[in-house]
Structure 1
Amino acid sequence: MSDIPTDLKYIETHQWVRVSDDGTATVGITDFAQEQLGDVVYIGVPDLGVTVNGGEEAGVAESVKSASDVFSPVTGEVIVVNEALEDEPEKVNEDPYGDGWLFKVKLVDQGELDGLMDATAYAEHVAAEG
């Protein structure tokens, strides 16, 4: 079974979001997603300053097996991107919930989190796909 931290929110396309007290939302792909992709060789993230919309495409993850769109779970302005992934995309495989995060946004609407899955609902979603 994939690792599914309970302090995160999830969307059906296998991205996670962690919101800090200051309203900054960190986005990444789940352990399940990186397992499905295999060895990640490239991560494309949105440009700084652009607004990403919850549920819409915000980047791409490419592996030796396939390419997959990355969706933003939340709406906000991109304020930080994980530049380390440019040289070390394998961090997504090694630590998807830590050093393998993709980008951070200034969250527009905290209420948007209410529509996302918690760890239990996401685990059920993964099991249903499996």
Structure 2
Amino acid sequence: MYRLYHNPRCSKSRTALRLLEDTGTPFTVVRYLDDPPSESVLRGLLARLDVPAAEVLRHNEPAFRALGLDQLAAIDTDTAIRALLEEPSLLQRPILETDDRAVIGRPPEQIRTLLSCPTS
């Protein structure tokens, strides 16, 4: 099953949602701002993304600077998770996840790379 980490206020997230709907792909929507993911969910998501931890954070958000993340030379997984637990709006969006892989949908067409792979 696919899970879309979605923010309805984000145009890229809305585009990814339409893409999934248009392909008829079964998925669930995770409105992570309304129901923030737990630490264990975030750890699993970051592991499935297979990107450096800093890439899952939105660097242009005011919270990024407010948390002092802009002052760090590097952002490791633990730092990223602490930041996301404190401020879920820092999570990149959209993200499409399966049980074994995930992709950041920026651009939204990145979503297609996961759709073309078999899921578990």
TM-score, normalised with respect to structure 1: 0.29
TM-score, normalised with respect to structure 2: 0.31
Bigger helix fraction: 2
